Amino acid sequence: MAKLYFKYGSMGSSKTAQALITKFNYEERGMKVWLLKPAIDTRYGYNIIRSRIGIEARADIIEKEASILEAFVSERKDNCDVIIIDEAQFLSEKQVDELRDIVDEYDIPVLCFGLRTDFMTRLFPGSKRLMELAESITEIKTICECGVKATVNARIGPDGKVVTSGEQIMLGGNESYIAMCHKCWRERIKRERVGDINK
């Protein structure tokens, strides 16, 4: 019986690499993979998914208002054994509901990889809905520079300081985000604020 999976982790936890390795494993067994990513993620090209370690693959794009269920039924229903989605935090709640429908109605496993929370530790709408609906929820772990498990996607501004306000979505990689434990994140914010006051 198929399941909806949510595999989440902080920035730099190898989520994309694991998504692409999972794709390879299915295809190695002769199974057909429908690889998807939200259109908002244009960091490596419109239809490219790329890991920090350099592996990449072409993916179909999910537009912001698109129906994944309609695309599946009209284009992929008879040519798909599994759906794998990278950057799933950018999905809408409705799109996650449609993935749930695909699992239930067509017995197709759906594996979603993405962030759980933003730079201010708030759930993304897509991640929130996945936490509510997925049968299998797995954390892909990485560590803070102090050695403790990282849970915060700290956004770093052009001045090198931790950003504590702004839009929820800002695309970026290692130049814009650092995975940190909550304690180090809070302490760095405090240090940087004290530094501003003392100037």
60 with 36: CB under 8 angstroms?
Answer: yes
- The secondary structure of residue 43, as a DSSP letter, is B
Q: Give the full edge-to-edge strand order of the sheet including 82-85.
A: 60-62, 33-38, 82-85, 110-114, 4-8, 136-139
User: What single DSSP character describes residue 50?
Assistant: E
Which of 28, 65, 70, 87 is the catalytic position?
A: 87
Q: How far apart are CA 185 and CA 163, in angstroms?
A: 11
d(CA 153, CA 119): 5
Q: Which of 79, 86, 30 has the alpha carbon at shortest distance from 59?
A: 86
Q: What is the DSSP letter of 71?
A: H
Asked if 155 and 119 touch (Cβ cutoff 8 Å), the reply is: yes
Q: Is 87 a catalytic residue?
A: yes
* Residues in the chain, overall count: 199
Residues designated as active site: 87
